[in-house]
């Protein structure tokens, strides 16, 4: 680990000002950042610990939604009875990720901003445009089984690893930030992440020193909420494919559906194509397969990860079947 200066935040304003300095980073739970610092993939010279800031509350909103402080741990969020009753897809997604020990440290803001687990991002002996801009992408012709198939570029095919963010994307969550000058803004979660294009090292729209202070969940939409994760072992593994879905239906038809995929792209992949295909569709396997085909129509495999495309279609079918009680 490279040397750094450690600072405890005393206020939002001072924390943002400190973190806006070159090579400075916020630290909250630290479960991803410290791992990357040990490997010298991240080499901040200043760490601003936001542990002292009062951002660990989950508050009711007057509209029936919730505001989740950035420092709320993954465990606390998944165990909150309001989340379990009103947003079960979020509890399920969080509980599908990492281990109990990690969820006790990992925070809401940190989970959103965690880095990819692409093996070449972690291997400092290999090219990686995300880690070393301009060096190339070893994953394109390499072991890319875990990599993305949608929305990425020939400069980077890294997938976003979060489960929590997939559920939040299906829930239309909004990310509230504060910038070094004190300015606040609200970013729809789907607009938080930047496509890799030719600058995969720039992953979000956040400015230097801009801090995620909270995540707002709108009131829960009607319908059955389901998170389904497909992975290489039964627990404690990243998703090959996951689906967060919220499905309202009557006896014959899907009234409304929200669908977000994990493991397929640089961000949780909300599929307007699948949702459009499902809206008003009959409760039948053919409808779910058509939605899957629509969702994956622009997908591109890179060899080892070709399987993700049919797997994503089938996972959506399974989720829709469960959500609607059809076969």
Partner 1 sequence: MLPFLSRLSRRRFLGTAGAVTLAAASQPAAAEAGGEPGSIHSENVALIVNGRRHNLELDPRVTLLDALREHLGLTGTKKGCDQGQCGACTVIVNGQRINSCLTLAVMHAGDEITTVEGLEGNKDLHPMQAAFVRHDGLQCGYCTPGQICSAVALLAEHKAGWPSYATADVATAPALTDAEIAERMSGNICRCSAYANIVSAIREVAEGGRT
Residues that bind partner 1 (CB under 8 A): 1, 3-6, 27, 29-31, 34-35, 38, 45, 47, 49, 51, 75, 78-79, 81, 84-85, 88, 91-92, 95-96, 98-102, 104-105, 234-236
- Nearest distance in Å: CB 267, partner 1: 23
* Structure token digits, residue 305: 């990860």
12, 47, 110, 215, 259 from 182: Cα distances, Å: 8, 20, 21, 18, 35
- Nearest distance in Å: CB 166, partner 1: 14
What single string gives the DSSP state of each residue in 106-140?
-BHHHHHHPPP--HHHH-TTS-BTTTSTTS-BTTT
Q: Which is nearer to partner 1, 29 or 151 (CB)?
A: 29
Q: Which is nearer to partner 1, 84 or 185 (CB)?
A: 84
- Nearest distance in Å: CB 187, partner 1: 27
Q: Which is nearer to partner 1, 88 or 119 (CB)?
A: 88
Q: Which is nearer to partner 1, 96 or 254 (CB)?
A: 96
* Structure token digits, residue 16: 């943002």
Q: Which is nearer to partner 1, 62 or 233 (CB)?
A: 233
Q: Which is nearer to partner 1, 100 or 191 (CB)?
A: 100
Q: Which is nearer to partner 1, 76 or 320 (CB)?
A: 76
- Nearest distance in Å: CB 81, partner 1: 7
Q: What percent helix, strand, coil does the chain show, rounded to 5?
A: 30, 25, 50
List 307's β-bridge partners, or say none.
Answer: none
What single string gives the DSSP state of each residue in 13-62?
HHHHHHHTSTTEEEESS-TTHHHHHHTTSS--SEEEE-TTSS---EEE-T
- Nearest distance in Å: CB 299, partner 1: 27
Token pair 């390499």 in the structure block, residue: 142
Question: How far, in Å, CA of 63 to CA of 218, rounded?
Answer: 8
Sheet containing strand 46-49, edge to edge, reads 5-8, 46-49, 24-27
24-27 and 46-49 beta bridge pairing = parallel
- Nearest distance in Å: CB 225, partner 1: 10
- Nearest distance in Å: CB 240, partner 1: 16
């Amino acid at each position: 680990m490279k040397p750094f200066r450690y600072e405890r935040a005393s206020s939002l304003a001072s924390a943002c000002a400190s973190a806006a300095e070159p090579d400075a980073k916020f630290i909250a739970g630290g479960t991803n950042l410290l791992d990357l610092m040990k490997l010298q993939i991240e080499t901040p010279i200043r760490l601003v610990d936001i542990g002292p800031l009062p951002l660990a509350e989950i508050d009711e909103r007057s509209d029936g939604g919730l505001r989740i402080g950035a420092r709320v741990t993954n465990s606390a969020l998944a165990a909150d009875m309001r989340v379990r009753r009103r947003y079960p897809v979020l509890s399920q997604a969080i509980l599908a990720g990492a281990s109990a020990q990690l969820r006790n440290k990992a925070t809401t803001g940190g989970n959103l901003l965690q880095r990819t687990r692409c093996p070449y991002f972690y291997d400092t002996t290999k090219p990686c445009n995300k880690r070393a801009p301009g060096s190339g992408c070893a994953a394109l012709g390499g072991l890319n089984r875990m990599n993305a198939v949608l929305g990425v570029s020939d400069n980077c095919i890294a997938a976003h690893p979060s489960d929590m963010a997939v559920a939040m994307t299906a829930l239309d969550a909004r990310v509230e930030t504060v910038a070094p000058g004190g300015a606040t803004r609200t970013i729809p979660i789907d607009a938080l992440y930047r496509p890799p294009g030719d600058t995969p090292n720039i992953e979000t729209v956040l400015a230097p020193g801009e801090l995620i202070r909270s995540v707002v969940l709108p009131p829960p939409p009607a319908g059955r909420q389901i998170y389904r994760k497909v992975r290489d072992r039964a627990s404690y593994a990243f998703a090959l494919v996951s689906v967060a879905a919220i499905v309202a239906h009557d006896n014959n038809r899907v009234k409304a559906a929200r669908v977000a995929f994990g493991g397929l792209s640089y961000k949780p992949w909300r599929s307007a194509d699948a949702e459009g295909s499902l809206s008003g569709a009959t409760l039948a396997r053919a409808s779910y397969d058509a939605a899957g085909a629509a969702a994956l129509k622009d997908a591109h495999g890179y060899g080892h990860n070709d399987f993700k495309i049919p797997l994503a279609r089938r996972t959506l079918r399974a989720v829709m079947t469960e959500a609607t009680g059809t076969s």
